[in-house]
Amino acid sequence: MPDSTDRERAHARSKTVKKPRARPTTKASSDAPKSSAPTTPYLLFDVRLSEIRPVIVRRFLLSKTATFRDLHDAIQDAFGWSDVHGWLFETNALKPPIAGPPDEEDFVQPRPDARKVKLTRFFGESAAQKCRYVYDLGEPWDHEVRYAGIVRREGRFQRELLSGARAGPPEDCGGMDGYEECAMHVRGKSRASAAKKKEMKEWLGDWDPERFELTEAKKQFDR
């Protein structure tokens, strides 16, 4: 039988617990490897019709190599215009145009060919942040074009529609007065004759000034 001294030694050994080795600390998530997928810079634009409230607006990305002709095409498709009238880009009506179509001869001031003027020659952090796009010079629609900076995205594309609000005016509706008449008709507040209401209903189809469907719009815009 073990004596008391042996029992005390055994008891002391049983209290000695081997400490586990410390595990290496895990790096914070901010130190984790980031995606190595290449990104491409794009120009971000916000475009809105100047005179209509609530605002009709579109936000989209364009390739950094895009020209003012590309911006014209993007605005046409984003707002649902048909590109059947004259147009130009300008800072204001008192200064020479920034760019426009090359085959128009009814302008007092010469305009640089929009196909040859890169957007990056005009817009930039230390350069211009906005300009004016005028469509249909007979009954002009003024668009405020705001450059919102550079956005980097994975993959390559020419343009991408990001968001929007409300439908663009019907083509050839007669300017602001005609637009208001169309909107009143859709809202059931038109004071026109019955024959005129019937004509407008057939012409407007399912146009609704409040409707903007991004998914459908992207199908026509993105490329």
Choice between 98 and 197, residue whose per-residue pLDDT is larger: 98
Tens of pLDDT, residue by residue over 121-151, are 999 888 889 999 999 999 999 999 999 999 9
Pairwise CA distance, residues 75 & 214, whole Å = 15
Contact 212, 165 (CB under 8 A): yes
Q: What is the pLDDT of residues 110-123, one digit of tens each?
A: 789 999 999 999 99
Enumerate domains of the chain plus CATH numbers.
39-167+210-221 (3.10.290.30), 169-207 (no CATH)
pLDDT at residue number 32: 47
Q: Kindly report, residue by residue over 31-65, the tens digit of the pLDDT.
A: 545 557 789 999 999 999 999 999 999 999 999 99
8-47 in b/e burial notation, b at 16+ Cβ within 10 A? eeeeeeeeeeeeeeeeeeeeeeeeeeeeeeeeeebbebbb
